[in-house]
Every structure is written in structure tokens, then in C-alpha cells.
């Protein structure tokens, strides 16, 4: 009996609570804010969905090979199968790519050296500069972007060029070229003495200004061996930092199943065999200034060039 009575009391309590809940729900349903909260909830859901889709989409097409924040203590190397591009050219044992790939090293140049190189680029490019967002300065040929064309700084500025560049500047370039050549040879198992500097080799400065001529269109996917037949190994020495000095401007290796990015960092060197196994592009720069030097190597002595020097 006692048990049953307690049961009755409980059920009476429950029904009172149920009534209260129902009344509350009815009041809430009548509330003029109910429509707004539903809308807010829908908006929140849409935002969450979009954020999720964005993260899935960006992860899908971008896979970070080396981020700006990490500092590599030894080269990070990724081997890939060589393309057939090299077969169209003469084979140079100990140099022509038989092992292909890409690598990144943070031990080739110090940040101080990168800083000095950046100043060289700034001084040189201050003499001209493209109307579009991409300017180059080639210390070997003297080519400098100016407006919609190029001028030769060595003839255009003749003796005054010695007020802008010093012997030490060129010496630093030579030292960098030597170190890059060494790390390429070590990484790909080559005889360093069989690699030669080739042209073009240049400083580049990119900002977000829109392109005025095709020379400013640096973002198209391309293969260096196809663009410049002489290239066998390409290297890039970065002089500014991704996300700090500029946004966008990541280097992207375009593989069939993924896009792999290298985030520039001052002093970082990225190098790779120049064939279509390393099809790549540079993401458009969104803000700031991106400085880099392209140093390219050939196996063919006919395409060798001397280190740049002051005339």
C-alpha cells in the first residue's frame, strides 16, 4: 500500500510538472523572438557548414611541405619519378637528373645574409620596377624591369652602378650560388663540378599590384625545363617571410593528386629538378612584398654562364 501511495503522489507531481512545461512551451511559441532565434540558429549552422567546407576544400588542394614557422636543421627531401623531359637533351653523366625530386633547406643562408641580399634587391629595383606587380633584376645580364619593358642597368646607369652595388654584394651572390650548388649536388648525388650556373638568374620582387604585361604574370603553372631548355636544377632563395612580410605568394608544386606548398622564409632555399615532375606555380601575392632570388643550373657546359660581376 505504502508503495502504491507513493506512486500516486509521484504521478500527481509529474503531471503538474508536465503542465508547467507545456505552458512554458506555449508561451515561448507565442514569443515574438522565436522567429529571430530560429534565424540566428540557421545562420550559425550555415557559418559552421561554410567553415567546415572551406577547411576541407583548402586541405584538399593544399598540403604544406614546409611551413614558414618551422626551421629545418637538415634538408627536407621528397623524391619523385623523373619525367621524360631530359631525354630530349644530351645526357651528362654525374649531372643530368636520374634521381628527381624537390627539397628545402634552411641552412644555406643565414637570416643576416638574406637581409643583405634583400637590400641589394631593394637598391637595384629602386632604379626601375615594373608597372605591374612583378619586377626582376638580373645581375648577370643587367636586365631590370622598367615600366612595361626592361633596361640594361649596366649600360643605362654605366659607371653610376658602382654607387649602388659593391664588390662585396657580388661576392655574396657567388658564395650563395656555391652553397646552393653544393646542397643540390649532395641531395641528388651529383658531381658538383659538373653543374653550371645558367641564365636567367635574377632577383624578383612581387607585390599585389595587378599585371600590366605578360611579364608580370608569374602565377601560371609551368615547367622550367620546358620554359628554359637549359635548366636542369632550379633553386629559389627566399628573402622575406610568408605571412609576415607578405600574404599569398606560396610556392606550389602541382602534383596529380595534390598541391604541395613551400612557405617562403628569409634564408630558406627550395630546389628541385627542372622537369615536368616538378610542375609548379606561385600563388598570387595578396599583400606586402615578396623577395626571392632564382638561381638555376644546367648540366650542359654550352649553356654555362659566369657568376655575375661588376662591369
Ligand X SMILES: *[C@@H]1O[C@H](CO)[C@@H](O)[C@H](O)[C@H]1NC(C)=O
**CB nearer ligand X, residue 113 or residue 283:** 283
Radius of gyration of the chain from its Cα atoms, rounded to whole angstroms: 30
Of 250, 288, 239, the residue nearest 133 (C-alpha): 288
What residues are labeled active site? 290
Residue 160 Cα to chain centre, angstroms: 35
Q: Which residues bind ligand X (CB under 6 A)?
A: 60-61, 129, 207-209, 254, 257-259
Of 306, 113, 272, the residue nearest 201 (C-alpha): 306
- 74 φ, ψ (degrees, to nearest 5): -145, 160
**CB nearer ligand X, residue 214 or residue 257:** 257
**CB nearer ligand X, residue 62 or residue 172:** 62
Shortest Cβ distance from residue 46 to ligand X (Å)? Answer: 25
**CB nearer ligand X, residue 258 or residue 294:** 258
Shortest Cβ distance from residue 63 to ligand X (Å)? Answer: 9
- Compute the distance between CA of residue 295 and CA of residue 298 in angstroms, rounded to an integer: 10
Residue where the block lists cell 610568408: 242
Shortest Cβ distance from residue 52 to ligand X (Å)? Answer: 17
By three-state DSSP, how is residue 96 classified? coil
The tally of CA atoms less than 13 A away on the side-chain side of residue 283 is 21
Amino acid at each position: 500500500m505504502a508503495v502504491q501511495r507513493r506512486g500516486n503522489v509521484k504521478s500527481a507531481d509529474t503531471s503538474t510538472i508536465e503542465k508547467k512545461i507545456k505552458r512554458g512551451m506555449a508561451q515561448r511559441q507565442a514569443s515574438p523572438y522565436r522567429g529571430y532565434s530560429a534565424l540566428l540558429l540557421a545562420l550559425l549552422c550555415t557559418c559552421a557548414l561554410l567553415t567546415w567546407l572551406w577547411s576541407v576544400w583548402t586541405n584538399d588542394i593544399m598540403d604544406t611541405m614546409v611551413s614558414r614557422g618551422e626551421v629545418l636543421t637538415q634538408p627536407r627531401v621528397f623524391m619523385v619519378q623523373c619525367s621524360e623531359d631530359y631525354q630530349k637533351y644530351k645526357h651528362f653523366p654525374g649531372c643530368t637528373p636520374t634521381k628527381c625530386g624537390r627539397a628545402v633547406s634552411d641552412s644555406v643562408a643565414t637570416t643576416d645574409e638574406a637581409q643583405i641580399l634583400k637590400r641589394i634587391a631593394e637598391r637595384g629595383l629602386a632604379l626601375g620596377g615594373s608597372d605591374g606587380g612583378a619586377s626582376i633584376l638580373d645581375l648577370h645580364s643587367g636586365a631590370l624591369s622598367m615600366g612595361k619593358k626592361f633596361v640594361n642597368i649596366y649600360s643605362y646607369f654605366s659607371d653610376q652602378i658602382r654607387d649602388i652595388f659593391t664588390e662585396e654584394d657580388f661576392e655574396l651572390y657567388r658564395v650563395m650560388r656555391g652553397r646552393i650548388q653544393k646542397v643540390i649536388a649532395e641531395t641528388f648525388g651529383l658531381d658538383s663540378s659538373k653543374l653550371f650556373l645558367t641564365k636567367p638568374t635574377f632577383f624578383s620582387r612581387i607585390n599585389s599590384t595587378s599585371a600590366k604585361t605578360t611579364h608580370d604574370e608569374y602565377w601560371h603553372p609551368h615547367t622550367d625545363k620546358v620554359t628554359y631548355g637549359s635548366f636542369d636544377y632550379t633553386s629559389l632563395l627566399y628573402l622575406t617571410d610568408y605571412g609576415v612580410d607578405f600574404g599569398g605568394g606560396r610556392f606550389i608544386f602541382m602534383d596529380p593528386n595534390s598541391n604541395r606548398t613551400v612557405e617562403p622564409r628569409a634564408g630558406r632555399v627550395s630546389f628541385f629538378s627542372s622537369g615536368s615532375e616538378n610542375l609548379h606555380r606561385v600563388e598570387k601575392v595578396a599583400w606586402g612584398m615578396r623577395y626571392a632570388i632564382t638561381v638555376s643550373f644546367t648540366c650542359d657546359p654550352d649553356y654555362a654562364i659566369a657568376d655575375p660581376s661588376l662591369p
